[in-house]
Amino acid sequence: MPQHWNAAFIAAPSDPDGRNPAPAPYLRREFTVGAGLRSATLHVTAVGLVEAHLNGAPVGDEVLAPGWTSYRHRLVVSSHDVTGRVVEGGNALGAVLGEGWAVGRLTWEEGKRAVWADRPAGFLQLDLDYGDRVDVIRSGADWRAGTGATLADSIYDGETHDARREPAGWAEPGFDDTHWSPVEVVPRDLSTLIAPSAPPIRRVQELPAVDILTTPEGRTVVDFGQNLSGWVRLTVRGEAGTTIVLRHTETLIDGEADFRPNRTALATDRYVLRGGGPETWEPRFTFHGFRYVEVEGWPGCLDTEAMTAVVVHSDMRRTGWFETSDELVNQLHRNVVWSMRGNFVGVPTDCPQRDERLGWTGDINAFGPTAAFLYDVRGVLGSWLTDLAAEQREQGHVPLVVPDVGAMPVTTPTALWGDVAVSLPWTLYQQYGERELLAAQYESMTAFIDSVEARLDERGLWSSGFQLGDWLDPDAPPKNPAGGKTDAYLVACAYLCHTTHQLARTAAVLSHADDAARYTALHQRVRVAFRDEWVTPSGLVANDTVTAYALAICFDILDPAQQARAGRRLAELVDRAGHRISTGFAGTPLVAHALSRTDQLDTAYRLLLQTECPSFLYPVTRGATTIWERWDAIRPDGSLHDTGMTSLNHYALGAVADWLHRVVGGLEPVEPGYRRMRIAPRPGGGLTHATLTHDTPYGRVRVAWRQEPDGHLTVDVAVPPGATADVVLPGHPDELTVQAGPGSHRWEYDVPTPERPVYTLDTPLKELFRDSALWAALQPVLRRHLPQFADADSGTEPSLPSLRILLGYFPVQAPALEADLVAVLQERTVAG
Ligand code: BGC
């Protein structure tokens, strides 16, 4: 990056017709290259979006450049080596500008646009290095501005491209631009220009169309088989002026493309044919979250070859993989990965399809640990945290969305959302071991906690101000996702216990001894206040919900005896809910961890493996290819949960994958960056194997376990150079923990078979219910003898004490029913 910028930001004159969006500006100028050129480097950015052109072709493979940052503070400049692209003599440099996030529509608010600028402006600086001198070609007042084929572009609404209007040769030398206008120079503080710290957004993958459907209403819909972020590339032949319309959507309901998940985002691309041969087109200044595209106006017969889905997101390195013997769990994990991909288009967002796609802080706070396992997120999340800190410094609070678009008027701290300022740097430090990131974020971390501390009441509780609580608890009223079962201030205080602890540890890592003592004391104060307010001496939590227990257990608020009691109560609550989900953003990332931590592993697996709605696997059984915003976004009857909050691609609740990685796969860092790691897989739930692979800063870790039906277990572990692992061997007869150094290791042993419980007619029904295989085997018997209860819900915990009591209610059926029930109980007990 040059030390001094010489170029200026330039824009086309404002659209005389006042169109919103206006046609994309095309900018150009010619220049001459002399003899002896050594290298040529093009630096380019824009307020808006930019595609640079040199001698007739686009430069580089980035799309949606310069991505999305808090443009007031930081604007990324891309640099491209174009030495091979310039020639001695006449050359032409050009740029097409798009509205993007800076200029175009943002948020659900009608008419809200131009958050950063009222029109796009481009910045180009071409350094021509001759060895003894550098000539600089720069954007400035001597450029010309025109328009071309891109008639309208909007991130939310899509792009309109009339191929007949593309001026041939506009970015080549010799083009006649006398009818174009002079440009206008737009003032900007050039100290905000920065080199990229995150990978650029690119076309990362292409997916073929898998099917072309004719809907019941006779419309044509192309199915790409996967919900994704990006766009469609089409190849078409037809008459000039023919208009093709592509409307993107995530789902079909009753066989028709349903656009409600997009809310007001039109997600519509239009292509007008030039005519005269096959023409290939894809948009460049929009993206859509979609699996299906409804097509109108296609000339002739549409076949699958004519369209390709182009997957677009920040080009991060994949670092984590996980699979098991259970195909539903594997699909759940694939869905998590795809939701991450769909929501890392420049910044971490809530969703990629509707009139939002914003950097919601709470969503990435919930998903951060999962994200950092799956991909190298240092770049994207490090850059995003720098923006967060800049906006927080400017505004005095952590905005609910970063970059801040002024969508929410909240200026007081919000738990889980604002907490990201502390928890995400800490997560990244655990993952990558980079102290610098913690140091860079330290001011932001302390400012957030200090702002909360200033609001604590006299008891030390966070008990006032705006909160989103256990957002999207499935039991919250559909139109009030913050109104779940768990008190929003309980959530706030529990998260504060967690973040004050993280901050105290951060201060210690950074050798700020006074701060470490201060925040440790604050942590203790909040923890004691939480226990005084919410926890009984034995370990029950006054707000008797799954989320409340999950938080109290995972955030180390309880002492060991209370922890065990709380674990048992949590398991009861989860069982009673029939292993359906009863947690929102606050509890879902933690509930399975809370269960496995308190030795309620079976219940954790039952929660994972439930397929009834709402559950982790229910969407998978409905063909989901991404994580839904609500587990019941599409209900069992096939209808859409239409509350205006029904994205089918929201990663937040996919945070359950963290449990898959840390408990089923069994890997977690003990020392930052995995210099020391703990490998403690915990087989269960009938899974017969699981394999986890993770590229740590030290190299690749692999954990694989396989359990044979006879109880023989094999554990394979590979530890990278420079790292060590404490391997806790699951179910080992000697309860072995081994220190493993770099290299490959294998352990094989027979896991002692646990004693089978003896079931009788007097066994508490709750206990029978917990043995899911036995419970399933009892159902047909009960239905056969008591057909009046055939439709009864067998998925929730029974209230009757025992089968013997049940028999007492049905004296006529009792003899035959008893014989059949006993047969099932004995068979299970004996055959195991
Ligand atoms: C977003 C969420 C977000 C929430 C908070 C929603 O509209 O999609 O994921 O965190 O608002 O208010």
What CA–CA distance (Å, rounded) separates 448 from 492? Answer: 13
Pocket flag, ligand 1, residue 360 (CB < 6 Å): yes
Residue pair 251/291 in contact (Cβ under 8 Å)? The answer is yes
Distance from Cα 735 to the centre of ligand 1, integer Å: 45
What CA–CA distance (Å, rounded) separates 563 from 556? Answer: 8
- For 483-495, the DSSP string reads --SS-HHHHHHHH
Q: Residue 605, SS3?
A: helix
What CA–CA distance (Å, rounded) separates 631 from 645? Answer: 12
Pocket probe for ligand 1: among 355, 363, 419, the residue whose CB has the most ligand atoms within 8 Å is: 363
Calculate the CA dihedral of residues 206, 207, 212, 215 and round it to 10 degrees.
Answer: -100
Nearest to 548 by CA among 573, 529, 577, 525: 573
Nearest to 235 by CA among 304, 150, 167: 304
**Cα-Cα-Cα-Cα dihedral sign, residues 550, 553, 554, 557:** positive
pLDDT of residue 128: 97
Ligand 1 atom closest to residue 350's alpha carbon, by position in its atom list: 9
Pocket flag, ligand 1, residue 468 (CB < 6 Å): yes
What CA–CA distance (Å, rounded) separates 471 from 585? Answer: 5
Q: Which two tokens mark 81?
A: 């080596």
pLDDT of residue 3: 60
Q: Which two tokens mark 70?
A: 């808090």
Confidence band of 645 (pLDDT split at 50, 70, 90): confident
Pocket flag, ligand 1, residue 362 (CB < 6 Å): yes
Pocket flag, ligand 1, residue 363 (CB < 6 Å): yes
pLDDT of residue 152: 97
What CA–CA distance (Å, rounded) separates 578 from 580? Answer: 5
Residue type, 69: T
CA distances from 491 to 46, 463, 479, 538, 654 (A): 41, 10, 20, 20, 19
Ligand 1 atom closest to residue 645's alpha carbon, by position in its atom list: 7
pLDDT of residue 2: 63
Give, rounded to a whole angstrom, the gap between the first and last alpha carbons of the chain: 69
What CA–CA distance (Å, rounded) separates 166 from 26? Answer: 10
Pocket probe for ligand 1: among 356, 420, 588, the residue whose CB has the most ligand atoms within 8 Å is: 356
Pocket flag, ligand 1, residue 359 (CB < 6 Å): no
pLDDT of residue 198: 98
Distance from Cα 221 to the centre of ligand 1, integer Å: 29
What CA–CA distance (Å, rounded) separates 633 from 611? Answer: 14
Q: What are phi and psi of 560, to 5 degrees?
A: -55, -40
Q: Which two tokens mark 214?
A: 């004719």
Nearest to 190 by CA among 93, 134, 125: 125
Distance from Cα 360 to the centre of ligand 1, integer Å: 6
Sheet containing strand 667-669, strands side by side: 667-669, 676-679, 724-728, 737-740
Phi-psi region of 814 (alpha: psi -120 to 50; beta: other; left: phi over 0): alpha
Is pLDDT above 80 for 20?
Answer: no
Residues annotated catalytic, as ranges:
356, 629
Distance from Cα 372 to the centre of ligand 1, integer Å: 21
Is pLDDT above 90 for 174?
Answer: yes
Q: Give pLDDT tens digits for 523-565.
A: 999 999 999 999 999 999 999 999 999 999 999 899 999 999 9
pLDDT of residue 305: 95
Ligand 1 atom closest to residue 585's alpha carbon, by position in its atom list: 10
Is pLDDT above 70 for 181?
Answer: yes
Pocket flag, ligand 1, residue 481 (CB < 6 Å): no
3-state helix, strand, coil in the chain (%, to 5): 30, 25, 45
Distance from Cα 488 to the centre of ligand 1, integer Å: 16
Residue pair 407/695 in contact (Cβ under 8 Å)? The answer is no
Is pLDDT above 50 for 470?
Answer: yes
pLDDT of residue 830: 52
Pocket flag, ligand 1, residue 420 (CB < 6 Å): no
Pocket flag, ligand 1, residue 351 (CB < 6 Å): yes
pLDDT of residue 831: 43
Q: What is the mean pLDDT of the chain?
A: 95
Ligand 1 atom closest to residue 652's alpha carbon, by position in its atom list: 9
Confidence band of 311 (pLDDT split at 50, 70, 90): very high
The answer for residues whose C-beta is within 8 angstroms of residue 791's C-beta and 6 or more apart is none
Question: At which residue do the structure tokens 């969006």 appear?
Answer: 21
What CA–CA distance (Å, rounded) separates 626 from 633? Answer: 12
In this prediction, residues 230-242 reach a mean pLDDT of 98
pLDDT of residue 832: 38
Ligand 1 atom closest to residue 361's alpha carbon, by position in its atom list: 10
Strand partners, 234: 281, 307
Q: Residue 762, SS3?
A: coil
pLDDT of residue 764: 86
Question: At which residue do the structure tokens 């897989």 appear?
Answer: 681
In this prediction, residues 671-692 reach a mean pLDDT of 97
Q: Which two tokens mark 63?
A: 């799309």
Q: Give pLDDT tens digits for 155-164.
A: 999 999 999 9
Phi-psi region of 627 (alpha: psi -120 to 50; beta: other; left: phi over 0): beta
In this prediction, residues 705-724 reach a mean pLDDT of 96
CA distances from 793 to 582, 608, 779, 788 (A): 17, 19, 10, 12
Distance from Cα 526 to the centre of ligand 1, integer Å: 27
Residue pair 373/658 in contact (Cβ under 8 Å)? The answer is yes
Residue type, 302: L
Q: Which two tokens mark 444?
A: 């932001």
Is pLDDT above 80 for 829?
Answer: no
pLDDT of residue 787: 85
CA distances from 306 to 55, 206, 295 (A): 29, 13, 12
Distance from Cα 717 to the centre of ligand 1, integer Å: 39
Confidence band of 756 (pLDDT split at 50, 70, 90): confident
Pocket flag, ligand 1, residue 667 (CB < 6 Å): no
Q: Give pLDDT tens digits for 65-81.
A: 999 999 999 999 999 99
Pocket flag, ligand 1, residue 316 (CB < 6 Å): no
Nearest residue by C-alpha to atom 7 in ligand 1: 645
Distance from Cα 256 to the centre of ligand 1, integer Å: 27
Nearest residue by C-alpha to atom 3 in ligand 1: 360
Residue pair 497/461 in contact (Cβ under 8 Å)? The answer is no
Residue type, 501: H
Pocket flag, ligand 1, residue 356 (CB < 6 Å): yes
Ligand 1 atom closest to residue 360's alpha carbon, by position in its atom list: 10
Three-state DSSP string of 794-831? CCCCCCCCCHHHHHHHCCCCHHHHHHHHHHHHHHHHHH
Is pLDDT above 60 for 355?
Answer: yes
Query: Cβ of 737: how many Cβ atoms within 10 Å?
Result: 13
Q: Which two tokens mark 446?
A: 């302390």
Q: Which two tokens mark 19?
A: 């169109």
Pocket probe for ligand 1: among 350, 354, 473, 653, the residue whose CB has the most ligand atoms within 8 Å is: 350
Distance from Cα 351 to the centre of ligand 1, integer Å: 9
Question: At which residue do the structure tokens 């023919």 appear?
Answer: 242
What CA–CA distance (Å, rounded) separates 365 from 190? Answer: 32
Nearest residue by C-alpha to atom 1 in ligand 1: 350
In this prediction, residues 410-425 reach a mean pLDDT of 96
Share of the chain above pLDDT 70, in %: 99
In this prediction, residues 83-112 reach a mean pLDDT of 96
pTM: 0.94
Nearest residue by C-alpha to atom 12 in ligand 1: 468
In this prediction, residues 607-635 reach a mean pLDDT of 96
The answer for residues whose C-beta is within 8 angstroms of residue 15's C-beta and 6 or more apart is 22, 23, 119
Q: Which two tokens mark 456?
A: 């604590």
Q: Give pLDDT tens digits for 499-520.
A: 999 999 999 999 999 999 999 9
Is pLDDT above 50 for 795?
Answer: yes
